[in-house]
Amino acid sequence: MSLVEMRKPFVAIVGAGQVGATSAQRILEKGLSDVVLFDVVEGMPQGKALDLMEAAPIEGHDRRIVGTNDYRDIEGAEIVVVTAGLPRKPGMSREDLLSLNAKIISDVCSNVKKYAGQAKVMIVTNPLDIMTYLAYKILGFPDSRVFGMAGVLDAARMRFFIAERLGIVPREVEAVVLGGHGDLMVPVSSHLKASGKPVKAAMAAGELSQIEKRTQDGGAEIVALLKTGSAFYAPASSVCEMVKAILKDERKVLPACAYTRGEYGIRDIYFGVPAELGKNGVEKVIEISLEPEEKKGLLLSAEKVKQGVEELTRLGIL
């Protein structure tokens, strides 16, 4: 039985590190739901939860957060966000993290299955597409209830880069970034818009391809600057955006790491595609028109994700 009383629907976050704690902060301060913050490190989630509660009188929200080291407290969660794992160090690829984080995801998901069997589960841990697939296998939940966060972040980075280049506010830019959350992700520039107007034809090709490359390397750019740890402010905003779409049943189409069944010619892997998010999690995978180069890029990226999944089998994890 759950040890804490939370107002439903509530969100549980497993991994109270940089992304986990910042996501909790955003969820609370936007008034979206109460939060249970879990970590294996004793005292740390309790300390961060207390600190966040002490900000409530100033921030003016009426939400509640509880920190815990006991999985029983996630019982009844509507959404479990999994940010447990090691972040990249400079020079480390997301794939280097594979075997280290696979053990953590296996442990976390066994507990989520045991204590929050009805929840929707959002994976954040890298390498994202592979960890989401592993989580799906361990959880045994319908695929609509297991998905990953990456595309919202990658698209937000591109939106910012374009806005900066055009001298407009970032929210005026619409971008779609699909594929695996790795160096082969596909910024879909044919769908890029600024203040509602297509950008591709209006920008020099060389300039646009530089922004595409910077988007693909967006995570590494921050890792190199920070020296320890990886990005967390924009990732937490992205988590929050997806949590909101689900809690409020917005049926909003966002790029998400979802299970594929032949969409875009890709099958049986978790992969970044446009997904309609609502109360059931991934309500639908949406197919948008792609230019031949974009389609080719997507297939290449899918190949890389498949190799990662095969690596899980080779390592005896799957």
Using the contact rule CB under 6 A, the part of the chain among 59-67, 118-126, 170-178, 309-317 near ligand TXD is: 118-126
Residue 218 interacting with ligand TXD (CB under 6 A): no
Contacts 24+ apart (CB under 8 A), 134-142: 134/102, 134/105, 134/106, 134/109, 134/312, 134/317, 134/318, 135/82, 135/105, 135/109, 136/259, 136/270, 137/318, 138/105, 138/106, 138/109, 138/110, 138/113, 139/109, 139/112, 139/113, 140/113, 141/113, 141/117
Say how many CA atoms lie within 13 Å of 3 toward its Cβ: 10
Residue 104 interacting with ligand TXD (CB under 6 A): yes
Residue 68 interacting with ligand TXD (CB under 6 A): no
Nearer to ligand TXD, 124 or 194 (CB): 124
**Lookup result for tokens 């280049």:** 165
Residues 233-272, one symbol each (x = binds ligand TXD by CB under 6 A, - = not), give --x-------------------------------------
For 248-279, the DSSP string reads TT--EEEEEEEEEESGGG-EEEEEEEEEEEET
Nearer to ligand TXD, 194 or 223 (CB): 223
Residue 226 interacting with ligand TXD (CB under 6 A): no
Residue from the set 3, 41, 168, 315 that interacts with ligand TXD by CB under 6 A: 41
The CB-nearest residue to ligand TXD is: 17
Whether 61 is catalytic: no
Residue 95 interacting with ligand TXD (CB under 6 A): no
Residue from the set 36, 66, 146, 150 that interacts with ligand TXD by CB under 6 A: 150
Q: Give CA torsion, residues 111, 304, 268, 80, to 10 deg.
A: 30
Residue from the set 128, 158, 223, 266 that interacts with ligand TXD by CB under 6 A: 128
Sequence-distant (≥ 6) Cβ neighbours of residue 76 within 8 angstroms: 2, 6, 8, 10, 116
Total residues binding ligand TXD (CB under 6 A): 33
Residues that bind ligand TXD (CB under 6 A): 14-20, 39-41, 83-88, 101, 104, 107-108, 124-126, 128, 149-150, 153, 181, 229-232, 235
Residues annotated as catalytic (active site), given as ranges: 181
